[in-house]
Amino acid sequence: VCVCVSMRSARTLRQLARSLHHHHRHHHQGRSVGIIGAPFCKGQPRGGVERGPDVIRAAGLLHKLQEQGCAVKDYGNLVFEEVVDDEPIGRVKHVRAVGSANQRLSEAVHAVKRDGHTSVMLGGDHSLAIGSIHGHSAAVGELSVIWVDAHADINTPLTSPTGNIHGQSMSYVLRELQSKIPVLPNFSWIRPCVSAKDLVYIGLRDVDPEEHYILKLLGVKVFSMSEVDQLGIARVMEETCDYLFSKVKKPIHLSYDIDAIDPSVTPATGTPVVGGLTYREGVYITEQVCQTGLLSAVDMVEVNPLRGQTEEEVQSTVSTAVDLLCGCFGRLREGNHPSDYRLPEP
Ligand SMILES: [Mn+2]
């Protein structure tokens, strides 16, 4: 048996050990993130929200996630073809465009999950949650959905006062509302895949009467801004997790509308509502969701650089979106360090 290790093979072993350690860190400390851009705006009337994916990337999202130990794969932006003759169905606008865009997105999110990543969908408007949730569920089965938003986005096509599908997304995927959804062109692919008991809202403060009725009818768990005020964000997150994980721990789909945050922080969005979450409350939600270890897909939607009055307003909105996503993947305000860090010795 050779007990003599040459200098050369010793170094090789050390390199091997280091690269294994490095591999280990990327495998366990950081997560594997798959980013999909969905530059789509037809779920609402204001142009500019289709620029969301590119401005969020330009603010350094990929680099920041990599710096905190994530393995990141960018799947690029989806391409949505023009849909001609997309006349309203009743009051509902751009049904065919929203239907086909979400079918494409559903397949893309399904593929990202099949590749083993946590899916990050950069919108685009919130109608994209339909395809994102659908594709996520197609890949992993039953989900918990945490919907952080000023709005409930749970109008059915028949209750919607505006006809904009970004205010209806949740109704398309909820099993309990299936019988209330009319047959719509380019939506034949969709299967309701979320149960009302697996849904929690945080941040609501602009809810239509019809939506309020639906939330009460289905007994959906809601932490409106009143509950955030009453309980504080720490108890809201504690109760959210207790509620969702009391029986089975299902993978989490976090659908984050940037308008959940107060417009003093994130003004560059289509439907700002005063009285929202502070930056700190918004980030705390992501830290707590990350800590569950169950986060499986995230939507970051409604960032609209054309809705900012100044460059600073756009900046503040976009950098908050990036910070929220970093919080989803392990960034802590107390600080972080790689698990294999060693203090340098003199
Ligand atoms: Mn929304």
CA 122 to mean position of chain CA atoms:
8
What are the pLDDT digits (tens) for 30-80?
Answer: 699 999 999 999 999 999 999 999 999 999 999 999 999 999 999 999 999
Q: Which residues make up each annotated binding site? A: 126, 149, 151, 153, 257, 259
As a whole number of angstroms, the longest Cα–Cα distance in the chain is: 83
Of the residues 151, 227, 253, 287, which is catalytic? Answer: 151
| Residues of the chain falling short of pLDDT 50 | 1-28
Q: Which residue pairs, CB below 8 angstroms and at least 24 apart, start in 286-291?
A: 286/254, 286/256, 286/324, 286/325, 286/326, 286/327, 286/328, 287/327, 287/331, 287/332, 287/333, 288/237, 288/240, 288/241, 289/146, 289/237, 289/252, 289/254, 289/328, 290/327, 290/328, 290/329, 290/330
Of the residues 149, 227, 287, 299, which is catalytic? Answer: 149
153 is an active site residue: yes
Please give the pLDDT value at position 247.
85
Query: Is the Cα torsion angle 278, 199, 151, 35 positive or negative in sign?
Result: positive
302 is an active site residue: yes
Query: Is the Cα torsion angle 245, 248, 252, 253 positive or negative in sign?
Result: negative
Which one-letter DSSP state was computed for residue 182? P
Please give the pLDDT value at position 18.
46
Which residues, 6 or more positions from 37, have their beta carbon under 8 angstroms from its beta carbon? 53, 54, 57, 75, 76, 77, 78, 122, 124
Of the residues 125, 257, 281, 299, which is catalytic? Answer: 257
Ligand 1 centre distance from Cα of residue 346 (Å): 54
Q: Which residues make up each annotated binding site for Mn(2+)? A: 126, 149, 151, 153, 257, 259
257 is an active site residue: yes
Please give the pLDDT value at position 29.
55
Which residues, 6 or more positions from 86, have their beta carbon under 8 angstroms from its beta carbon? 42, 94, 95, 96, 97
Please give all residues whose CB falls under 5 A of ion ligand 1, grouped by chain where several chains appear.
Answer: 126, 149, 151, 153, 257
Ligand 1 centre distance from Cα of residue 125 (Å): 8
Does an H or E element contain 148, and which? Answer: strand 144-148
Ligand 1 centre distance from Cα of residue 148 (Å): 8
Ligand 1 centre distance from Cα of residue 34 (Å): 22
pTM given for the model: 0.91
C-beta atoms surrounding 52 within 10 Å: 31
Across 221-234, b (16+ Cβ under 10 Å) vs e yields bbbbbebbeeeebe
151 is an active site residue: yes
340 is an active site residue: no
Report how far residue 3's alpha carbon sits from residue 32's, in angstroms, rounded to the nearest whole number. 40
Ligand 1 centre distance from Cα of residue 243 (Å): 22
User: Measured in Å, how far apart are the chain's first and last C-alpha atoms?
Assistant: 37
85 is an active site residue: no
Ligand 1 centre distance from Cα of residue 96 (Å): 20
Ligand 1 centre distance from Cα of residue 112 (Å): 23
Please give the domain boundaries of the chain with CATH numbers for all domains: 31-329 (3.40.800.10)
152, 211 Cβ separation under 8 angstroms: yes
Of the residues 211, 259, 262, 313, which is catalytic? Answer: 259
Ligand 1 centre distance from Cα of residue 273 (Å): 11
